[in-house]
A and B are shown apart, each in its own frame.
Chain A
Amino acid sequence: MQAKEFKVKWGMAIDIDKCTGCGACMVACQAENNLSPIEDASNKIKVMNWLVVYELSNKKPFPEHDVAYLPRPCQQCGTPPCVSVCPVIATDKNEEGGIVSQIYPRCIGCRYCMAACPYHARYFNWLDPVWPEGMEKALTPDVSVRPRGVVEKCSFCHHRFMMAKDKAIVEGRDPEALADGEYVTSCTEACPNGAIVFGDLNNPDHQVYELARSKYASRLLERLHADTQVYYISRREWVRRQLDNYLDNEKVKG
């Protein structure tokens, strides 16, 4: 399948070597996108997360052991496997920017997309979203709350994209030529280590443009050809090897 091309293509370059696994991005994501808290968060099947920070291990025993953390938002595939399986077109990729959408009122909760997504980036609302009394006052006005029974996922904080575009239009600028940093996701903004860089992968003026072309950059399960818009950077070879299922004798990039 040929990836759809867009003039503007939002993407990330996440430096795994810079992530210390603190989780600020995960909490910032929940607050920004109105995800509800859950009493027993150890039940990882029922927990709703748009962004998860995974722990990676070089699988060597102490003292040779090394650890790394991998923040995983939706990878915003160029050829999204989730889109083609949706029977009601609740998810699509056809807007400028190349963000894979999710239209909650249209979702019938069949979860085909979850089965199709190779990155486990989609989550099903098994439970009603419930906030402790009064906490709904801290909901942002930008993202609607999703009910039980629908699938949700990271939208690259799409509302922020719309706001940045609106601002550019009001100021008489081209909304398709936003400056670097004018639109970033909540996780990008929160990370104290600057592990996540966000921008237009097609715009040479944006930092991600170069970073995505770094010799250390690769994508998750690249050989599935999902053509994702999230790049991972690591100077450590063992980390890069784990980004796809490399055989021991296979060489990785970088």
Chain B
Amino acid sequence: MAVDRRGFLKFVAGVSAGVMVTPIPWKLLDDASIWTQNWPWIPSNVDGATSYVSTVSKLCPSCVGMKVRLVGDRPVRILPDENHPLSKGGISPLAVAEAQMLYSPARVKRPLKRAADGAYVAISWEEADALLAEKLGAAKGSIACVSGDETGSINEVLSSLAVQAGSGNFYLMPTEAQPAAKALAAMGGKGQLGYDIENSDYVLAIGANVLETWGPVISTRAAYKAARPHGEDPAVQFVFAGPVQNSTAAGADQWVPIKAGTEGVFALGIAHLLIKAGATADAADFSAFKSLAEAYTPAKVAEITGTNADQLKAVAAALLKARTPLVVCGSDFGQGTGAGTVMAGIAVNMLLGGLNRKGGLKLLPVAEPVVSSAMSRAEMMDKDFVSYMSRINAGKEKAPKAMVFYEANPAYALPQATKMSEVLGQVSFKVTFTTFLDETAMLCDLVLPVPMGLERLDDVATPYGYGQALYCLARPVAPMPASVKPAGDYIVALAGKLGCSLGVSSWEEVLQAKAKAMDADWDSLMDGNVFTSDATVSANLSFAADLLAKSVNVKAQEGNFAVAPVFKLGIGTAKTAIPPYNNKLIRRWELQGNELYVAMNGATARKLGVMMHDKIVISNKSGSINARVNIFEGIMNDTITVLMGLGHTAFDQFSKGKGENVMQLLTVGFEAGTGLSVWNMAGVTISKA
């Protein structure tokens, strides 16, 4: 058959039209994309029956309550728990990743021993037991214990061990709880400070980062949520005073910029104005306090804190107008603050009639220890780890022969971190009970893996700051890895082997006794219920005016610029580093690759002659870090903000080597009057790199 030109063109047109109309090419394209997506190395979902278990996070410092979704026996999601007072339908950005962290690459899976060449070798538990018994036996009388768990009864076991087999040296890692306890004790109070934010109608947070890191932050944020219906005028005012427009400032109705370390002065400025307006308090030394506050005139406070007098006056007036005002003093990065700051805050609450009143500052009862020879909560709070380390460094105290760490990472998290690691080097035997291979584990002779909170039975007793006495249990919801041992029972047995008599024979017995001491019902706790109590301890506080006068004084800082560390829960803690699911929370100009960005405002940048992205070196006598410049106007003049939680030298690919550790720049000083170690002011010099 001959094909003419026209016929050929018709045929071509027909084919083209046919191709357009037939589904075949599209079907093939679709199939091809399906086939090319069936890649065997991509994990597929495994189904199973869903169930939920309520528990509390031992990983997140906010002690958030949570509901764990299990599929079969695998935890897959951490969800908020409506019924938990420390959750109230919210979850922290850290705890929400906890199920995934069970499989963190940084998890220690078996006991490790440091060999002579410095490398770690996996050993059996029997070998670890023998080594530990030998070394701790030899160090008896000179063992110190350090715990990174502020709320657990494990501290009773560890402190009993330190008292009976050591030299009484048991320490908690520094948080805001210690200065608060010191402040309360100095003012003649008993129990633990609780802030009834839920029932307050005006919350003034001076330094305390109440919507991000301070205290039981998720319960605070539940109160914040309840008081602020969408688009309506808020029923409760939140005001934040601090050097940086941080998360709390972002959520607050008002940000009052004040220099880091001047929180106490700001509070005294408020006290001055309240007294002027007629406020008084029923305390023996009120007149002494009055004359102290007299000196803190708005002009003087403005000069020291860098705030303006009008803003100070407006805040004082608003406090006077509020029905249930509450003042929370603390540190905007969760540590390093002095007792004086907290004392000044308590004093303002006293002037506002806020002691043990609804929506005020409460003194909560603390249960007596249940383990024989264990330190009481007050005794534990009195121990100052940073000052102990400084004494060893200065040769004023002998280094212990052995140190036992429990979920503590001092080699990363203490101020002047490198120096602190050097001090740890003076301790001849170090053992850590840890979930992750952290910086401290890398210094230890023996690393013992413990289960995560989701895999063990543990407890939480009234987290610092929460407005009620509280007790609840973390229950094991996930199976433990094979060669990991729960620390509770292990340390109880270890103490026994070292000849300590704890008066209890198992970890569960400790918890049961603790529940009883708190007046809580064990069976109900084991069902996931939370015990709370409205009881308070009667308060007859003094202002401790003399001490306050000394401790609140602001020292001159080194250099021309101040460093304000920024702590964000979502980016992890020293104990967790940056969880694999959380590094996406780091903002673009906080970290690029492994390079740290620090922020300053435009005026500061101009003063330094630097621009966005320029390289700088920030240094002081403690250390130095390299960074690039980011410009953010929510920072006071002459202040540099540095994100905390970076610069890890251990952990995994999600944390290691990223940025720099701001703790290197925080220099330890000692508070006048109380002697407490403080590092809430870091002066630095800055040069272009």
Instruction: List chain A positions with a Cβ less than 8 A from chain B.
Output: 13, 15, 17-24, 26-28, 30-32, 34, 37-44, 47, 49, 55, 57, 59-63, 65-69, 88, 104-109, 128-129, 131-150, 189-194, 197, 207, 211, 214-217, 233-235
Q: Which residues of A contact B226 (CB under 8 A)?
A: 194
Whether A55 lies near B587 (C-beta < 8 A) is: yes
The answer to whether A190 and B48 touch (CB under 8 A), given A134-B103, A216-B231, A235-B231, is: no
**How far is the CB of B53 from the nearest CB of chain A, in Å?**
15
Q: Which residues of the partner chain A approach B92 to less than 8 Å between Cβ atoms?
A: 22, 24, 192
Contact status B588-A42, CB under 8 Å: yes
CB atoms of A31 and B581 under 8 A apart: yes
New A-B pairs, 11, CB < 8 Å, besides A20-B212, A27-B581, A65-B601: A20-B251, A23-B582, A31-B97, A61-B603, A62-B603, A62-B634, A136-B43, A147-B42, A192-B89, A193-B224, A211-B230
Contacts of A194 in B (CB 8 A): 89-90, 225-226
Instruction: Looking at the assembled complex, report how far the CB atom of A193 sits from the nearest CB atom of chain B, in whole angstroms.
Output: 5
Query: When the two chains form their complex, are residues A20 and B75 in contact, meaning their CB atoms are under 8 A apart?
Result: no
CA A137 – CA B104 in complex, angstroms?
12
B230 touches A15 (CB 8 A): yes
Task: Kindly list the 6 A-B residue pairs having the minimum CB-CB distance in the complex, ordered from nearest.
Answer: A192-B90, A65-B633, A136-B43, A194-B225, A135-B103, A192-B221
Q: Which residues of B are found within 8 Å of A139, using beta-carbon distances?
A: 43, 45-46, 76
Q: Is the CB of B77 within 8 A of A140?
A: yes
B183 sits at the interface (CB 8 A)? no
Residues of A within 8 A of B592 (CB): 42
B496 within 8 A of A: no
Which of B185-193, B242-250, B316-324 lies on the face that meets chain A? B242-250
B570 within 8 A of A: yes
Contacts of B91 in A (CB 8 A): 24, 28, 190, 192
Query: Shortest CB–CB separation between residue A65 and chain B, in angstroms?
Result: 4
On whether A41 and B633 interact (CB within 8 A), knowing A107-B33, A132-B103, A140-B45, the answer reads: no
Can you list 22 A-B contacts (CB < 8 A)?
A20-B211, A22-B570, A23-B93, A26-B93, A26-B584, A34-B45, A37-B583, A47-B584, A57-B632, A59-B633, A65-B634, A67-B249, A105-B34, A106-B30, A135-B100, A141-B71, A145-B44, A145-B45, A147-B37, A189-B79, A189-B89, A192-B218
CA distance A17 to B238 in the complex (A): 12
A57 closest partner in B (C-beta): B633
Smallest beta-carbon distance B129→chain A, Å: 27
Q: B123 at the A/B interface (Cβ < 8 Å)?
A: no
- Distance between Cα atoms of A47 and B654 in the complex (Å): 14
Q: How large is the interface on B (under 10, 10 to 19, 20 to 34, 35 or more residues)?
A: 35 or more
B47: Cβ under 8 A from any A Cβ: yes
Least CB distance from B665 to A in Å reads 22
Nearest Cβ in chain A — how far from B260, in angstroms? Answer: 15
Please determine whether B582 and A13 come into contact, CB atoms closer than 8 angstroms. no
Contact of A27 among B44, B47, B96, B249 (CB under 8 A): B96
Tell whether A62 pairs with B45 under 8 Å between CB atoms, given A41-B583, A42-B588.
no
- List the B residue with the shortest CB-CB distance to A215: B231
A193 to B236, CA, bound (A): 14
Complex interface bits, B551-562 against A, C-beta within 8 A gives 1, otherwise 0 = 000000000000
Which residues of B have CB within 8 Å of A149?
A: 36-37
B463 close to A (CB within 8 Å): no
Q: Which of B18-59 contact A (CB under 8 A)?
A: 26, 29-30, 33-34, 36-37, 39, 41-48
Which B residues lie at the A interface, using CB under 8 A?
Answer: 26, 29-30, 33-34, 36-37, 39, 41-48, 69, 71, 74-80, 89-93, 96-97, 99-100, 102-105, 211-212, 217-218, 221-222, 224-226, 228, 230-231, 233, 245, 247-251, 257, 568-570, 580-588, 591-593, 601-603, 632-637, 652-654
Residues of chain A lying within 8 A (CB to CB) of residue B633: 57, 59-62, 65
**Which residues of the other chain, B, contact A32 by a CB distance below 8 angstroms?**
77
Give the dominant DSSP class at A's interface: loop
Q: Please tell me which one of the listed residues B39, B41, B233, B601 contacts residue A61 in the complex, with CB atoms under 8 A apart.
A: B601
User: Which of A20, A37, A67, A197 lies in contact with B230, CB distance below 8 A?
Assistant: A197
Residues of A within 8 A of B250 (CB): 19-21, 67-69
A27 touches B30 (CB 8 A): no
Q: In whole Å, how far is A55's beta carbon from the nearest beta carbon of chain B? A: 7
Judge whether A142 and B45 touch: CB under 8 Å. yes
Inter-subunit contact A22/B231 (CB<8 Å): no
B437 CB, nearest partner CB in chain A, Å: 13
B570 — which chain A residues lie within 8 A by C-beta?
22-24, 27
| A35 and B245 alpha carbons, distance in the complex (Å) | 31
Q: B588 contacts which of A15, A44, A65, A67 (Cβ < 8 Å)?
A: A44
- Cβ–Cβ contact A132 & B93, under 8 A: no
Chain B residue contacts of A135, Cβ below 8 A: 100, 103-104, 580
Cα–Cα, bound, A147→B74 (Å): 23
Known: A24-B93, A30-B581. A88 touches B29 (CB 8 A): yes
- What are the residues of chain B within 8 A of A62 when measuring CB–CB? 257, 601-603, 633-637
Residue in B45, B90, B225 whose CB lies within 8 Å of A190: B90
Which single residue of chain A is at the shortest CB-CB distance from B253? A17
- The closest CB in chain A to the CB of B97 belongs to A27
Task: Tell me, in angstroms, the Cα distance from A34 to B224 when the chains sit together.
Answer: 30
Give the chain A neighbours of B96 by CB distance below 8 A: 24, 27-28, 31, 190
If the complex has contacts A31-B77, A38-B583, A67-B634, are A21 and B37 also in contact, measured as CB distance less than 8 A?
A: no
In the complex, which residues of chain B have a beta carbon less than 8 angstroms from the beta carbon of A49?
584
Which residue on chain A has the smallest CB distance to residue B588?
A: A44
**CB proximity of B36 to chain A, nearest CB, Å:** 7
Give the distance to chain A from B529, nearest Cβ to Cβ, in Å: 21
Query: Are A22 and B568 closer than 8 Å at their CB atoms?
Result: yes
Closest chain B residue to A208 by CB distance?
B230
Contact partner, B248, options A20, A27, A60, A106, Cβ 8 Å: A20
Known: A37-B581, A62-B635, A189-B80. A88 touches B30 (CB 8 A): yes
CB distance from A222 to the nearest CB of B (A): 17
Q: A62 vs B42: C-alpha distance in the bound complex, in angstroms?
A: 49
Contact partners of A128 in chain B: CB under 8 A: 39, 41-42
Return chain B residues, CB-CB under 8 Å to A143: 45
CB distance from B334 to the nearest CB of A (A): 14
CB pair A13–B93 under 8 Å, yes or no, is no
Q: CB distance B257 to A63 under 8 Å?
A: yes
The answer to whether A41 touches B586, judged by C-beta atoms less than 8 angstroms apart, is yes
Q: Which residues of B contact A150 (CB under 8 A)?
A: 33, 37
B76, A138: Cβ atoms closer than 8 Å: yes
Tell me, in angstroms, the Cα distance from A132 to B48 when the chains sit together: 22
Query: How long is the Cα–Cα vector from A145 to B44 in the complex, in angstroms?
Result: 7
Min Cβ gap B91→A in Å is 5
Nearest B residue to A52 via CB reads B584
Interchain CA distance A27-B44 in the complex, whole Å: 21
List of A residues within 8 angstroms of B30 by Cβ: 88, 105-106
